[in-house]
Amino acid sequence: MSQAETVPDIATPHPFDQASPAELQAAVEIVKQRFDPELELFWYAGNVQEPPKKVMQAYLRAERAGKPVSPPPRRICILVGIVHTPRNFEVLVDLSEGAIVGFKELSRIYQPPLTMDEVDIARKVTLSSDLIKKEAERMGVPMELVFAEPWDYGRDSDEEYPRMSQIFMYMLNPETRDPESNPYSWPLDFMAVVDLEKREVVKVIHLNLGVDAVSREIQNGEYKSSKPAEPEYVHSLQSQKTRTTMKPLRVLQPEGPSFDVTGNLIEWEKWRFRVGFNWREGFVLYDATFDGREVLYRMALAEMFVPYGDPRSPLQRKSAFDFGNIGAGNAANNLGLGCDCLGVIKYLDGHLLGGDGKPKTIPNVVCIHEVDAGIQWKHTNTVTGKPVVVRRRQLQLQMIITVANYEYAFYYVFDQSGEIMFDTLATGILSTTPIDPANKDSCSYGTRVAPGVLAPYHQHIFSLRIDPCIDGDGNTVQVVDSVPMPLSKESNPYGVGYTTESYNVKESGTVNINVEKGRVFKIVNPNKINSTTLQPVGYKLVPVASQMLLSDPESWHGRRSNYCTAPIWVTKYKDDELYPAGKYTSQSIGDDGLRHYISRKDPVENDDVVVWHTFGLTHNPRPEDFPIMPAETTRVMLKPNGFFEFNPTLDVPESKQSFNQSVSYEDSKALSSKKSCCKI
Amino acid sequence: MSQAETVPDIATPHPFDQASPAELQAAVEIVKQRFDPELELFWYAGNVQEPPKKVMQAYLRAERAGKPVSPPPRRICILVGIVHTPRNFEVLVDLSEGAIVGFKELSRIYQPPLTMDEVDIARKVTLSSDLIKKEAERMGVPMELVFAEPWDYGRDSDEEYPRMSQIFMYMLNPETRDPESNPYSWPLDFMAVVDLEKREVVKVIHLNLGVDAVSREIQNGEYKSSKPAEPEYVHSLQSQKTRTTMKPLRVLQPEGPSFDVTGNLIEWEKWRFRVGFNWREGFVLYDATFDGREVLYRMALAEMFVPYGDPRSPLQRKSAFDFGNIGAGNAANNLGLGCDCLGVIKYLDGHLLGGDGKPKTIPNVVCIHEVDAGIQWKHTNTVTGKPVVVRRRQLQLQMIITVANYEYAFYYVFDQSGEIMFDTLATGILSTTPIDPANKDSCSYGTRVAPGVLAPYHQHIFSLRIDPCIDGDGNTVQVVDSVPMPLSKESNPYGVGYTTESYNVKESGTVNINVEKGRVFKIVNPNKINSTTLQPVGYKLVPVASQMLLSDPESWHGRRSNYCTAPIWVTKYKDDELYPAGKYTSQSIGDDGLRHYISRKDPVENDDVVVWHTFGLTHNPRPEDFPIMPAETTRVMLKPNGFFEFNPTLDVPESKQSFNQSVSYEDSKALSSKKSCCKI
């Protein structure tokens, strides 16, 4: 097969389009030529290298104005390693030139992500290891029941060490032996360490089954968990019957959706934006405008860190950067019609690079649909009695990822009012660890969620990267507090006056949330004055007020997740600065990321600013979170605040029965009790 | 007409049923007999006096167990006054006995609420006043355009003064002269004070049109506001066209709703509770159980205070206790099918007592319906690839109230997971005040929302009263913080450990929210141990972290709203202690309410506790909030926390396309583009 045959033609993509399978394949073929064909290569990832913002802004503005545009060079970044060696490479391929334009061997302190294909390798290595077979035999667990869960290894020393994975061990339900049974109900009393370079188990560690941090020797086969009250989440395996009380609720859109999707371009109710996709961040929002006015250049969840609070060795390593280590795109679900959302749904596929260097496509990684979110506004004239109600229609983009035991759903939500919300939803299964079922001592860092099963306390700490473009270039972050006016015969004689105190963030740095002062974060464009308020146009960020990192700042959790110490970070835009915990988070030492970006002390007033919001959940598990967790949600909001001259939803039609066709309870009961179908 | 004819038969109501029209009428007839028939009476309100909790708990437990019950005495509390006098009375009527069992003339420092009928009187008095006609003439405003908005007077001195109302003045759109035009776009430059005893305007006040607190003389007819960019919210009056881009989105429940309503009893998905209604709190939740286990005895929004931050005389009086002064029940909307909610809807009517002593019914004051709230839980098995998704069905009870310019919607939301949410939604129109349009000075306590129209800063501060009964009697409030473990070779050698620190609230008092410590408020039953966690069963309160009152504590705003200074209050249950700002809030002096309840320093550990949550919005208006405000929402959550042994939604069926019948974008687009109907 000649090279010409292996590289298919590539149609001209939009610069914010994800890398197509053909582009990934083309890039791989070009990279392969740089390596000795005898070498076995492992392909970690491939994604489009975004063009510089300056280039793209000119491009987007011309494009929106309907002017001719010439696409910037199309570049693909490939991460590849040589199997059985510690050597990994970051290669930049220019597809337009058909050439490598950047080639860098990674320092040994940087590791590419632990992709799904490598997780599979680690799992197979574990399950075929004699060390593991010996442990299973000790516990009397047949190997076909053993469930191995590879995690990123993390870091526990300053020294250089090989690429590794730590493997948490569980078993399938010993009664049903069903492959769909919930392994997290049956934690085993040991874990393993896999050397990913050697591709072998290099260590087995017996877990501490007590509640204190001092490890103790375990006896052979000593630990046996009892059967939990309800170990299973798969319905057919549960000991209880599935309820039949819930009647169907369907979303009907007889005239079709109100949105249009053309390639990566989505248009809905005065909003216009593009959606990209890459292995790391999953879906990314680009070039969002409302009624033709710029709001965001780019927004994406940039990282999440899940540090565990269990202090016992070896669990102090338990932590995950799910975006940097695994990749939200790599972990994205194929979303099913009628399962993950209701109504009329547009799906987008995601393209990834497999470990074997072949493109693979996950269908339906993003679903786009409308929701009715209640009431947008209402008023009843108190004199005439006339009510006017406008309902709140929103457009949701959803992506759901599975990272080992946990699931996260992420949402960009667009509102007719000019608001953009970013929602996170945490569900899935708690990562459990065994505890001696006979031990009834109070545990200070975890919750017993079943007999012999401990769910350690942990945090989920997200970083949302907001790259605004509020009504054009030159934005300023304003911190605004509401404070009582001082008592004064002149200005506040009755003591009821209150006012705002604000300052501009002048230099890259952090700002704290302040609930007591009702602190608000505005992103304004000082170059554009709102003719109604006589103040600069702006948006406000409504953050999630949440607890920051609980780990000691000098611990490895603390050193590696330097973005988790403050809720609001402001930096000056710089191409490629997308990663708050650094570009390479696997086994990272914490030498990259937000703390380092802000240390430049760049001027950020009336400039190209980026706002990063750190927020999260301190998750001290409940038994209600087991064997699967009811979703826990957070919402970050961007709200126009003096961006418009008046409410931009005034022209949304009144909510009417003729449009909505609701049904009264009494009519519905009468109707649904009729058993016979209508006759012709 | 004999008395027998005027008192109709009364069927035996449930003790938590609202007063029926017949009961209100019966009570009025009995009260009338106590007064000289020559006297003109004004009827403020009538409602059921709830039986003592001890009595009701025995009743409810017997009722739920299917045992015979004998209803406690049925008592109606009537508030009545003698017109043209300062004399007002609280009368308790026992309908079973047909007799007055309590009769009290109110002290002059206590005033009954300013009901809608009295607002109408105040409005008529204003519009027919020669003083007002003179002012309108000065401004060149025809009287038929003048719009008068009566508010509670508030308080500005320690002295006793008559029952009064302050009247804010606006006009209809002078161009269209349409009665549905938005008066808040056209504030007049004066306001009035009405003596409600004399029923006459006793004072006209010229408003300060500048931005500082020092009042200045205005010239005759000096103030004229300009036409705002979009003064109107009623669609037919807007200068822009209503959009046609939004396609219908309907909620279809072909097999009917999943809930049953029998009188005041609502049963849905393991939840069982009762709904009451009264003039003051509007809808009230009673006796909520999940799967037969007690969760709440009673919950209701107990008060809300809206203090304005404009320091200029006479606006320092501008403030409203919308529940105590007006009554949420009195202000409740008739909710329309297809307007205020979607799907299959059950409505409940509300019964009130009119100023004329006749019962009046507002139809559809509460709507009950189901919503799909996204995903309840999901997991994809990483080995087999099998996903399981369960969607999140909720039951919503909605009430919407109109208090002058503003609207509030309130929601009790029940989730299959055992969660109960209380949502507030603020919408409606900003209360505006005039400002000299020529003045461009920065205003430190308000936002210009249109030329010549200022919307002053204000707060909305709610109090949610939660009367729990977590798995039976004897509840304790626990305050739980998440804190780093100290570094220690024994217990936290790696610095990653974190733990919880908690204490029980032992004595009635307040607790602060602490975001930095991830503070959680639990209500536990120390007498019941969860067999999974080995800890007491409980729920946690997830509060709204918000700014407290900004007014000076010694100001009249501060003195009268003593519940607005702390987010969490814990008291020992006492019958009739329902009102955090006191029972009578109109013109109140602040001598009643939560601050006074807690001063008893009652023991509250393993006791009959009540938890009160103060939360709110600091609302510094945006131009986007005008001429009508996109809804601003808050959510308080009660979540089971070790109440169940495992996730109570496990038996909710899997989300499937056969059940949900979603449609792909492509199919929908193809379908909706077909113009012809299907042929037979």
- The predicted pLDDT at position A678 comes to 43
As for the ipTM of the complex, it is 0.96
Q: Do A339 and B655 lie within an 8 Å CB cutoff?
A: yes
Interface test with B, best of A382, A398, A533, A645 (most B CBs within 10 A): A382
- The predicted pLDDT at position A222 comes to 58
Give Cα A635 to chain centroid, integer Å.
13
Residues 89-128 of B with CB under 8 A from A: 119, 123
Question: What DSSP state is assigned to residue A523?
Answer: E
Q: Do A338 and B659 lie within an 8 Å CB cutoff?
A: yes
In the sheet that holds A420-428, the strands lie side by side as: A498-504, A476-484, A520-529, A536-542, A632-640, A420-428, A406-415, A387-403, A359-380, A344-353, B663-664
d(CA A18, CA A46) in angstroms, rounded, equals 10
Pull the structure tokens for residue A342: 């209701």
Q: Which CATH architecture has domain A3-105?
A: Roll (3.10)
Q: Do B389 and A336 lie within an 8 Å CB cutoff?
A: yes
- The predicted pLDDT at position A674 comes to 64
Is A202 at the interface with chain B, CB within 8 A?
no
Superfamily of domain A259-474+527-640: Copper amine oxidase, catalytic domain (2.70.98.20)
> For residue A29, what are the CA distances in angstroms to A18, A362, B675?
18, 22, 49
All residue ranges of chain B with pLDDT < 50 are 1-9, 217, 675-680
Is B322 at the interface with chain A, CB within 8 A?
no
Q: How many CB atoms within 10 Å of residue B378?
A: 26
- Chain B residues in contact with A641 by the CB 8 A cut-off are 622, 624
d(CA A146, CA A144) in angstroms, rounded, equals 6
Is A239 at the interface with chain B, CB within 8 A?
no
d(CA A29, CA A46) in angstroms, rounded, equals 12
CATH ID of B116-237, from 1.10.260.40, 3.30.420.40, 3.40.1360.10, 3.10.450.40: 3.10.450.40
Q: Do B515 and A234 lie within an 8 Å CB cutoff?
A: no
Convert B157-183 to b/e letters by CB count within 10 Å (16 or more is b): eeeeeebbbbbbbbbbbeeeeeebbbb
- Chain A residues in contact with B496 by the CB 8 A cut-off are 307-311, 316, 319, 551-552, 555-557
- The predicted pLDDT at position B11 comes to 65
Is B311 at the interface with chain A, CB within 8 A?
yes
Is A680 at the interface with chain B, CB within 8 A?
no
- The predicted pLDDT at position B338 comes to 78
- The predicted pLDDT at position B620 comes to 98
Is A557 at the interface with chain B, CB within 8 A?
yes
Interface test with A, best of B117, B234, B249, B295 (most A CBs within 10 A): B249
- Chain B residues in contact with A499 by the CB 8 A cut-off are 309, 444-445, 457
- Chain B residues in contact with A484 by the CB 8 A cut-off are 550-552
Is A217 at the interface with chain B, CB within 8 A?
no
Contact partners, residue A412, CB within 8 Å, separation at least 6: A283, A285, A299, A396, A397, A420, A421, A422
Instruction: State the Cα torsion A636-A642-A643-A645 to the nearest 10°.
Output: 140
Nearest C-alpha in A relative to B371: A249
Per-residue pLDDT averaged across A556-581, rounded?
Answer: 97
Instruction: Answer whether B3-105 and B116-237 agree in fold.
Output: yes
Nearest C-alpha in B relative to A335: B387
Question: Tell me, what amino acid is at B380?
Answer: T
**Over the stretch A614-641, which tens digit does the pLDDT of each residue have?**
999 999 999 999 999 999 999 999 999 9
Give the nearest partner residue to B238 out of A380, A651, A672, using CB atoms. A651
Interface test with B, best of A157, A185, A378 (most B CBs within 10 A): A378
Helix (H) / strand (E) element for B58: namely: helix B53-64
d(CA B170, CA A650) in angstroms, rounded, equals 21
Residues 134-193 of B with CB under 8 A from A: 147, 149, 156, 179-180
Q: Which residues pair with B522 in a beta bridge?
A: B478, B540
| Domain range list for chain A | 3-105, 130-216+231-237, 259-474+527-640
Q: Do A344 and B448 lie within an 8 Å CB cutoff?
A: no
Confidence of residue A468 (pLDDT cuts 50, 70, 90): very high
CB B72 within 8 A of CB B94: no
Q: Do B513 and A518 lie within an 8 Å CB cutoff?
A: no
d(CA B651, CA B291) in angstroms, rounded, equals 13
Q: How many CB atoms within 10 Å of residue A483?
A: 14
Residues 355-374 of B with CB under 8 A from A: 368, 370-372, 374
Nearest C-alpha in B relative to A415: B630
Q: Do B484 and A550 lie within an 8 Å CB cutoff?
A: yes
The CATH fold assigned to A130-216+231-237 is Nuclear Transport Factor 2; Chain: A, (3.10.450)
d(CA A142, nearest CA chain B) in Å: 17
pTM: 0.96
d(CA B174, nearest CA chain A) in Å: 17
In the sheet that holds A88-94, the strands lie side by side as: A41-49, A75-82, A88-94, A99-105
Is A600 at the interface with chain B, CB within 8 A?
no
Q: Do B251 and A380 lie within an 8 Å CB cutoff?
A: no
Is A20 at the interface with chain B, CB within 8 A?
no
Is A584 considered catalytic here? no
CB A393 within 8 A of CB B249: yes
Confidence check: pLDDT of A9 > 60: no
d(CA A417, CA A270) in angstroms, rounded, equals 10
Dihedral (CA of A507, A513, A517, A522) sign: positive
Interface test with A, best of B386, B410, B425, B494 (most A CBs within 10 A): B494
Interface test with A, best of B290, B665, B666, B675 (most A CBs within 10 A): B665
Give me the half-sphere count of Cα atoms (radius 13 Å) on the Cβ side of residue B427. Answer: 26
- The predicted pLDDT at position B226 comes to 79
**Over the stretch A327-371, which tens digit does the pLDDT of each residue have?**
999 999 999 887 898 999 999 999 999 999 999 999 999 999 999
Is B532 at the interface with chain A, CB within 8 A?
yes
Where are the alpha helices (H) located in B537-578, listed in sequence order? 556-560
CB A238 within 8 A of CB B650: yes
Instruction: Please work out, in degrees rounded to the nearest 5, the angle formed at the alpha carbon of residue A488 by the alpha carbons of A485 and A489.
Output: 140
- Chain A residues in contact with B395 by the CB 8 A cut-off are none
**Over the stretch B169-188, which tens digit does the pLDDT of each residue have?**
999 999 999 999 999 999 99
Q: Do B333 and A381 lie within an 8 Å CB cutoff?
A: no
Give the nearest partner residue to A515 out of B243, B500, B515, using CB atoms. B515
Instruction: State the Cα torsion B2-B4-B6-B8 to the nearest 10°.
Output: -160
d(CA A390, CA A651) in angstroms, rounded, equals 9
Question: What DSSP state is assigned to residue B631?
Answer: -
Confidence check: pLDDT of A216 > 60: no
Nearest C-alpha in B relative to A450: B532
Q: Do A495 and B624 lie within an 8 Å CB cutoff?
A: no
Interface test with B, best of A249, A259, A386 (most B CBs within 10 A): A249
Nearest C-alpha in A relative to B639: A624
Instruction: State the Cα torsion A225-A226-A230-A232 to the nearest 10°.
Output: 50
Q: How many CB atoms within 10 Å of residue A451?
A: 17
Is B649 at the interface with chain A, CB within 8 A?
yes
Confidence check: pLDDT of A1 > 70: no
Question: Of the residues A110, A406, A408, A563, which is catalytic?
Answer: A406
Number of residues in chain B: 680
Q: Do A493 and B650 lie within an 8 Å CB cutoff?
A: no
- The predicted pLDDT at position B672 comes to 77
d(CA A235, nearest CA chain B) in Å: 7
- Chain B residues in contact with A631 by the CB 8 A cut-off are 374-377, 392
Q: Which residues of B are catalytic?
A: 322, 406
Confidence check: pLDDT of A8 > 50: no
Pull the structure tokens for residue A152: 């990123």
d(CA B392, CA A257) in angstroms, rounded, equals 23
- Chain B residues in contact with A457 by the CB 8 A cut-off are 482, 498-500
